[in-house]
Homo-oligomer: A and B are copies of this chain.
């Protein structure tokens, strides 16, 4: 597994079930959503401008993609809907094709641009660490099979010791109907 293969496998539409554990309160949050992931071109103007905003040479970008989602959560016992979209641009390390930086124009944990550090482990797990001003996010994504993937996200305090929220998503590919 490398980043090329990982992005290729990720492309498509996914039906997601997510459970968030808010640890201090032993609270469970349930989220259902649909997620669309589409490939972008390295030459796409949005990709180039995101690279430039980080003062990174756009020719270093590899396999950028757009992720969009819409869903609903039972947070606070109120059913509420949400949606969003973000551009993600991998910038592989020059000396290691299985690691690099991931730029995005909007993060999960905070709605601000972010740059995280990714690597793909020996067993094919994509691991992403992102430092924010007052928090750290750590994410693991792996494919159980090409049509089913799991995602773990941890939100930690900025010191990185305490885990505030641990969440788990199971994502099933929405196969196009044959008609």
Contact = CB atoms under 8 A, between A and B. Distances in A.
A125 B15 CA distance: 27
Interface residues of A, number: 25
B121 A170 contact: no
Nearest to A31: B28
B170 A23 contact: yes
Contacts of A30: 19, 28
Nearest to A121: B123
Contact of A19 (B121, B148, B150, B168): B168
A172 interface: yes
A163 B154 CA distance: 24
A121 B161 CA distance: 23
B122 A148 contact: no
Contacts of A170: 21, 23, 163, 166
